[in-house]
Each structure stands twice: as structure tokens, then as C-alpha cells.
Structure 1
Amino acid sequence: MGFIGDAGMVKESLYWFDSMKNSYKVAPRCEHYACLIDILGRSGQVETAYKMIQEMPFEADLGVWGALLAGCRFSLNIELAELAAREIMRLDPKNSGAYVMLSNIYAAAGLWRKVSRVRRLMKENEVKKQTAFSWMEIDNTVQYFVGGDVSHIAIDEIHTVIVQLYSQMKVMEYIT
């Protein structure tokens, strides 16, 4: 299996998206478009992804705009990153992810004044960066934990499962 950025994976994704509509008569929803936008963005085709958003038969949701914004990380397309971030902020003004992602894109492009402006805007709009956490299901119970927190009662078991998953992903060539 190739990486998402491979041209073959993009072609295959487009094939299945089209066949979903044409052969199986399944009308794509926002989450289908978001997946395709994500694949196009990861392959550096953010302009194509944006064109697809413009041609969608309904308004793009947070997932679609988030996929485009994430794709802009790979190409450092500042113009589309700003547009996607604005749309996310319009739909969800307190969405800290849009601010952080835009700030990170600016930083990667060396646009430090814009980084400062985004951080200042977060403060002015009282947008707080959400604490990241992970979760996994163990024995039919969902367990939550914050990165770096070793106080969880099952931390040893969690680390064991993570190591096993990582090893399996390497064997299956999902990671190198």
C-alpha cells in the first residue's frame, strides 16, 4: 500500500469517490468530501481540493474546511490557509484548532508577525487552546489520558498496547 501522498492513492481515492456516486448511487456527504479534501491536501493538491469545495452541492462544514487547512501545512499555501481558517472561525468562533493550525503554518513559512497576530487574536477573542488527550478502549471501557500523564491506573497496559500497535503498523508498512 502506498502513502497517501502517492499519486496512485489520489487516483484510487478519486475512483472510489466517483464510483460511489455513479455506480452505487450513494450521494456523498460532507465527511466523504472531507476525506477526499484531506487526501488531496496531503498530496499537495490544495488548489484542486479548494475547487472541489467550491463545486460541492452543499455548504462545507468544519470537517471539510479543517481538512483543507490541514492540507495547507504541506504546501504552505498561505492564501488558502487563511481562507479555510476564516471559514472555520465563522462556523465555530471558539475553535482553537483553526487558530493554532494557522499560527503553525505561518511559523513554518517564517511569517512571525502573523504568528503573533493570530496569538493576539486568540487572546482578544478569549479562545483557549484545548488540552489534547488520547483515549483507547480497554475491556469495553473507554480510558482517557493526557499526553505525558503517567498517573493513569492502567498506564503500563496502555504503553504495552501502544508499542504493539506501533510494531504492527511498521510490519504493515503504514509507517517506516
Structure 2
Amino acid sequence: MHAVIKKIGFEVNIFVASTLIDLYAKCGSIKEAYIVFSSVEEKNVVLWNAMISGFSRHARFMEAMISFEKMQQMGMYPNEVTYISVLSACGHMGLVEKGWRYFDRMKKEHNLSPNVFHYSCMVDVLGRAGRIQEAKDLMDNMPFKATASMWGSLLASCRIHGNVELAEVAAKHLFEIEPHNAGNHVLLSNTYAAKKKWAEVAKARKLLKDSEAKKERGKSWIEVKDKVHTFMVGERTHPRIVEIYSRLEDLLEEMKRLDYKVDTEHDLHDVEEMRKQELLRHHSEKLAFTYGLMTLPSCAPIRIMKNLRICGDCHSFMKLASIITGREIVVRDTNRFHHFKNGFCSCGEFW
């Protein structure tokens, strides 16, 4: 489609270009998004917003901030959408003070009233940084009623930072607002599991079963030669699954020489250690990566999409895989894009 657009001369059209930028950013190709952005000479606020949003999604905080300042130097005023992207970037990098500065700046410098989305971003900024009580206080004192998104963000932060007390408060509100969202039950259960509160885990799982809410199964997918291949943990149906498992085992053996050990802390089932290791070693994103390694050209990045948050063990696996294979790996989970290269991730271990 991009090739057709370029041939007929529509690439310089602001509306087409902003959509292309958004498309590339959402597909994990932030470099291509920036190439499109740079090719348009007459930029408007929509184009700038699309690029800043893309940088934010890919944890390119410095690029997002530079673009934010540069658009103003070019005579463009940031609007409500611009500030949502900037605050989101602060959340992804744990920059609380910068987040507050931008939150105040939108009112004082640009006469913009923060709406429910800006408050939601600030709740996320505070929660991700572990300042969960501050996030709760902000929700209690804001001029809006807290949304499901805010309570969900607070619950996710409680899970990451082990705050059981506020997790229970957030979950109670979510059960009322979203009675059919099984993800909220799972987050609460995982918060208990991380603290080894197995009795509470059992209660949370019974509540989930009684609620009849449907739990979303974790899955990852990868596109190879215009076909999407989907994997689940312990996959058995893919036509090349035997070969995939064999190649994955070879990879894991190589990683052992780099002191990689399956981190069972990230499996929250009350089962034996060996079973935990087995569950983790066959997570869906590992299978999708292995298939990409087997089928994609050596010069191509391996792009994986996932419908849940990437776990810490898979995050460590991808870092080591990028060293062993020399490949760039891009994983999009529910929160952001992770770019793995030479043993490092763009998220800076903050996600």
C-alpha cells in the first residue's frame, strides 16, 4: 500500500502520511515511521502527534521530548492529544517528576484543562514507579469519577510492586464496573500468588469461576510470508512444532553457557519447581521467536505480537537470544514495544 501511495504522489498528503506513521509505529517499525514523517515538508499538529505517539509507544523518550519541543519551535502548539503521548512516555520510563512538570505545564503554558485521559496517564506514571498511594490519592481528588482504565492501571501496578491492600480495593471497583472482564480476577490472583498467599489465590480463582467471566488465553503471533502463525504455551498443532521445540532446546542449551536459568519466580502456579520450569520454557513468545528464527531472512528483524504482558523470564530470554543469534527482536505486548538488540532492551528494564 505504501508503494502504491508513493507512486501516485499521495505520500506528501498530511492525512495519508499521518496514517502511515501510525501504521508503521503500531507494527513495530518506528524507523520507517520516522522516514515517512521526515519526508513531509509542511507538517501540522496531527503529523507531529502521530510521530510523538509512535516514539512514546516504542519507549523512545528522548525522541518524544525533542519532537515535543521542536514542534513548538516550528510554531505549532501542542494540544490535548500531544500531552497524552508525552505523559504516556513518562509513564513508560518511570519519570514521575517530568510527568508532573508536563501535567502542570499544559495548564499554565498552553491553557489546556487536563481531561480524564491525562489523569489516567498520571495514575499510570505514579503507579509504574511504585508510588501507588500517590496514584490512589490523585484518583480520590480529581474532578472526575475514576474509570475502569484507572482502576486497571492501579491494579496492574499493585501486582508489579506487591501492594495487596490496594490491589483488593482496585479489584473490588473493577468487579463492579467490568463484571465480565476475567483479566481483573487474574491480576488479583497473581498479586496474591506473588506473595505466596495460596489460600487467597484459591478464593480469587473460585470467584473468577463463579463470575462466568471468560479468561483470555495468552498467545503470540508472527507474520511470515504474508501468513500469520499463532502460538500458545505448550503448542502442539503447528505443522512444524516438533522442529520448533528442537530448535528452542538448542537455543536454551546455548543460553545455559551464558548463565541463563529459567526464572520460576515468574510462574505463579502452585506447582513443583520442575513443572514451573517446563511451563516457562515453552511460553508462546519463545515459540513464535524460534519459528521466526527458522523462517525469516537473517537480515530481517523478528517481530512478535502478544496479547498479554511479557513475563520477566521471556524478557531475559529475548535479551540473550539477541546476543546469540545477532538478530534484532521486537516484541509488542499489551503495554508497549520492546526492542531487543545486543543483549539490551529499549525499555531499560522498566515495563
**Structure 1 position 143, deviation (Å):** 5.5
**Structure 1 position 62, deviation (Å):** 1.2
Amino acid corresponding to residue 111 of structure 1 in structure 2 = K
User: Using a 3 Å threshold, how does the CA distance of structure 1 residues 117 and 41 change in structure 2: closer, same or farther?
Assistant: same
Looking at structure 2, the residues matched to 18 and 128 of structure 1 have their Cα atoms a distance apart, in angstroms, of 40
TM-score by length of 1: 0.78
Question: Residues 22-37 of structure 1 correspond to what in structure 2 (within 5 A)?
Answer: 22-37=108-123
Q: Give the RMSD, CA atoms, in angstroms.
A: 3.6
Looking at structure 2, the residues matched to 10 and 41 of structure 1 have their Cα atoms a distance apart, in angstroms, of 10
**Structure 1 position 73, deviation (Å):** 1.8
Looking at structure 2, the residues matched to 136 and 29 of structure 1 have their Cα atoms a distance apart, in angstroms, of 36
Amino acid corresponding to residue 157 of structure 2 in structure 1 = G
Show structure 2 runs of 5+ residues with no match: 1-60, 63-89, 240-287, 305-326, 331-338
Which residue does the alignment assign to 2:347?
Answer: 174
Looking at structure 1, the residues matched to 121 and 115 of structure 2 have their Cα atoms a distance apart, in angstroms, of 10
Aligned residues: 174
SS of the equivalent of 2:230 reads: strand
Q: Contact (CA 8 Å) 1:31, 1:63: kept in 2 or not?
A: no
Pick aligned residue for 1:15 from 77, 101, 108: 101
Pick aligned residue for 1:89 from 175, 200, 210: 175
* 1:65 counterpart = 2:238: no
User: Using a 3 Å threshold, how does the CA distance of structure 1 residues 75 and 171 change in structure 2: closer, same or farther?
Assistant: closer
Q: Which segment is superposed worse, 129-138 or 52-61?
A: 129-138
TM-score by length of 2: 0.42
Show structure 1 runs of 5+ residues with no match: none
**Structure 1 position 46, deviation (Å):** 0.6
Q: Which runs of 4+ in 1 moved over 6 A?
A: 135-139, 169-172
Residue-by-residue CA offset, 1:58-83 (whole Å, 9 max, x unaligned): 11111100111111123322221111
* 1:80 counterpart = 2:155: no
Residue-by-residue CA offset, 1:26-49 (whole Å, 9 max, x unaligned): 232333222221221122111100
Which residue does the alignment assign to 1:122?
Answer: 208
Residue-by-residue CA offset, 1:77-126 (whole Å, 9 max, x unaligned): 22211111111111110111110000111111222111110101111111
Q: Which segment is superposed worse, 88-97 or 163-172?
A: 163-172
Higher RCO (Cα < 8 Å, 6 or more apart):
1
Looking at structure 2, the residues matched to 151 and 50 of structure 1 have their Cα atoms a distance apart, in angstroms, of 45
